[in-house]
């Protein structure tokens, strides 16, 4: 049987005539392939075209402009990352990217502060592309609203109150996003790895793709192509929903294949998560769903923590070792000693 990635229309969530079927379809999509295309997300085609155009414009800036906001300048893991400088699954990713989050002031750090408090802080913005910031902040607001509606829908689909998870993301949700460019393969990079196989750490990821393929989803040992569908976002489950649902919902393994020589792929992933100081609850599922919950996956190389800040920090330290060594040497040493 050939598996396909389903299309979910978020407008059906608030429609009384389609509400019940929507929740069934949503739960089935998350339990089966684990990825789905999302329409009805409230973002216009004009806004999609605008952010993709500015994403390309950012990566066309001179290298010196991009390196002025290199992530190595930021203890908050915000800023530009050159080709090969992020690592996934122990391999170098063949993409350059700009990491952004909610614009915040850095928090005061005391000797006994949990290390994840260092993740709070401002973004780095390119000096010669001032129009980028308002477009990014609009995109963050729109995708956050869509993500919250989806999370409410998942809560209902799991037999919970609509706001069952609101207390762990309200007031200060921790979301991140990237602008990403995947250049075509070259003689210096013959690997297929655009981004290595991995799971996402938050609640939900909402991804905007351009018209180039490359994203693949693992299902029963087979890689399915998430072929771009105009006007949609691609959504996948993250580790926090896996924890909250006791493994009824699974964070889905996915990867990106580097595009062919002479081409480039652009994407804008948005990662919706909980407050860094939150602890993920274990939802009490109805009996018929609880019987199908297998518990969160146990991977010694990638342990899951119910403490959100710890979960986020371990991911950042692993994927950006240069930033980790500069700003978190004490944390790394403590972990090496404990091991």
How far out from the chain centre does Cα 248 lie?
20
Buried b (16+ CB within 10 A) or exposed e, 8-18: bbbebbeeeee
* Pairing verdict, β 264-272 and 222-225: unpaired
Q: Which is more confidently placed, 152 or 3?
A: 152
CA angle 270, 124, 45 (to 5 degrees): 40
- Can you give the pTM of this predicted structure? 0.94
Q: Which of 38-52, 184-198, 241-255, 276-290 shows the lowest per-residue confidence on average (mean pLDDT)?
A: 184-198
* Pairing verdict, β 87-88 and 222-225: unpaired
Residue 290 in tokens: 């609880």
| pLDDT at site 161 | 96
The residue whose two tokens read 């399915």 is 224
CA dihedral defined by 165, 252, 119, 115, rounded to 10 degrees? 90
Asked if 240 and 202 count as a contact pair (C-beta separation under 8 A), the reply is yes
Reduce the DSSP state of residue 207 to 3 states and report it.
strand
Closest by CA to 32, choosing from 214, 206, 220, is 220
pLDDT tens digits, one per residue of 27-86: 999 888 889 999 999 999 999 999 999 999 999 999 999 999 999 999 999 999 998 888
pLDDT tens digits, one per residue of 114-144: 999 999 999 999 999 999 999 999 999 999 9
Name the residue ranges covered by the structural domains of the chain.
Answer: 7-338
| pLDDT at site 1 | 44
Q: What is the chain's alpha carbon radius of gyration, rounded to the nearest angstrom? A: 19
- The topology under which CATH files domain 7-338 is Jelly Rolls (2.60.120)
d(CA 69, CA 71): 6
Q: Which is more confidently placed, 260 or 96?
A: 96
**Angle between helix 132-157 and 19-31 (nearest 10):** 100
pLDDT above 90: percentage of residues in the chain: 73
Closest by CA to 190, choosing from 94, 123, 55, is 94
Average pLDDT over residues 150-162: 97
């Amino acid at each position: 049987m050939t598996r396909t990635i389903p299309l979910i229309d978020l407008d059906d969530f608030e429609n009384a005539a389609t509400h019940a079927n929507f929740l069934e379809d949503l739960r089935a999509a998350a339990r089966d392939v684990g990825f789905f295309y999302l329409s009805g997300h409230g973002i216009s085609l004009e806004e999609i075209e605008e952010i993709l155009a500015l994403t390309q414009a950012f990566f066309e800036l001179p290298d010196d402009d991009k390196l002025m906001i290199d992530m190595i300048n930021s203890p908050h893991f915000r800023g530009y990352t050159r080709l090969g400088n992020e690592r996934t699954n122990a391999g170098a990713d063949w993409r350059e990217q700009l990491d952004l989050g909610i614009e915040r002031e850095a928090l005061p750090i005391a000797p006994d502060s949990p290390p994840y408090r260092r993740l709070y802080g401002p973004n780095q913005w390119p000096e010669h592309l001032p129009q980028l910031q308002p477009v990014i902040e609009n995109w963050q607001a729109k995708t956050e609203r869509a993500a919250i509606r989806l999370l409410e829908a998942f809560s209902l689909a799991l037999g919970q109150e609509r706001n069952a998870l609101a207390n762990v993301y309200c007031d200060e949700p921790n979301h991140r996003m990237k602008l990403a460019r995947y250049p075509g393969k070259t003689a210096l990079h013959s690997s297929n790895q655009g981004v290595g196989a991995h799971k996402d750490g938050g609640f939900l990821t909402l991804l905007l793709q351009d018209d180039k393929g490359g994203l693949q989803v693992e299902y029963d040992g087979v890689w399915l192509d998430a072929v771009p569908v105009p006007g949609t976002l691609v959504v996948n489950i993250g580790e926090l929903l896996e924890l909250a649902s006791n493994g009824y919902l699974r964070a889905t393994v996915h990867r990106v294949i580097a595009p062919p020589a002479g081409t480039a792929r652009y994407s804008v992933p948005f990662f919706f998560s909980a407050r860094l100081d939150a602890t993920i609850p274990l939802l009490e599922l109805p009996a018929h769903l609880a019987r199908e919950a297998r518990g969160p996956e146990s991977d010694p190389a990638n342990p899951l923590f119910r403490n959100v800040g710890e979960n986020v920090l371990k991911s950042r330290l692993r994927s950006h070792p240069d930033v980790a060594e500069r700003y978190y040497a004490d944390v790394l040493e403590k972990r090496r000693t404990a091991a």
